[in-house]
Amino acid sequence: MARYGPVTTDTQTITLGLAQIRVGASATNIGSRNAVLTSSDSIGVCTTTKFAGNTDWFKLESGFPLMEDTVFPIREGASLECAFQQLTPKNLAFAYGLDATTGYTNVHSGEVALGARSAPAFVRMEAHYTFPTVTYSLDVIFPRAQISSSVELDFQSEAPAAVTITFESKNASSDVTGGNAIWNAAPLGRIQWNGA
């Protein structure tokens, strides 16, 4: 029987499940174009992991009545939103925009100061996603990202809290202090597929 409409051409490219969110030092790893963080850099179990590539467009119109002639990108951004469930000093420090890549080694003891916010630290974020076939994976790499979320801890009687944060990718090219020339062609980072 003939099939019509959109038909799956490669079942191994279907995404199902969440990405593992790995966070590390931006300055230490800025010269690495490929994924360098490991599962030991993971913030743990998440309930959501969502990438967004935002673009604002300018539409050129002319004539009467006006008709669109062309469109130009005027602003581009990339972000990854996730909600983590493992409430540790390190994860909460990241949520508050701190560089928690050092100094937060204890899982069950420590503190995060309230009322002393400053500009969020730059961190490296890698979202490692393994396809259901486990043969292939991809990495979303933000070499220089900031977290500027408001923090909410929603404690419930029969469900674990999930703290939503958003990693916003920032310019990592050699144009900025803390950037590197290897990111000049991809200043916000890149999505890298791993497999044949």
Q: pLDDT digits over 153-177, tens only? A: 999 999 999 999 999 999 999 999 9
Structural domain boundaries, residue 24:
11-194
Task: Note whether residue 148 is domain-resident.
Answer: yes
> Can you tell me the distance from the alpha carbon of 35 to that of 127, in angstroms, rounded to the nearest whole number?
9
Task: Note whether residue 1 is domain-resident.
Answer: no
Q: Largest alpha-carbon pair distance within the chain?
A: 68
Task: Note whether residue 3 is domain-resident.
Answer: no
Task: Note whether residue 5 is domain-resident.
Answer: no
Four-CA torsion 103, 108, 114, 116, nearest 10 degrees: 0
Task: Note whether residue 187 is domain-resident.
Answer: yes
Task: Note whether residue 167 is domain-resident.
Answer: yes
Task: Report the chain's terminal Cα–Cα distance, integer Å.
Answer: 32
Task: Note whether residue 6 is domain-resident.
Answer: no
Average pLDDT, the chain: 95
Task: Note whether residue 21 is domain-resident.
Answer: yes
Say if residue 49's pLDDT is above 90: yes
Number of neighbours of residue 148 by Cβ within 10 angstroms: 12
Count of domains in the chain?
Answer: 1
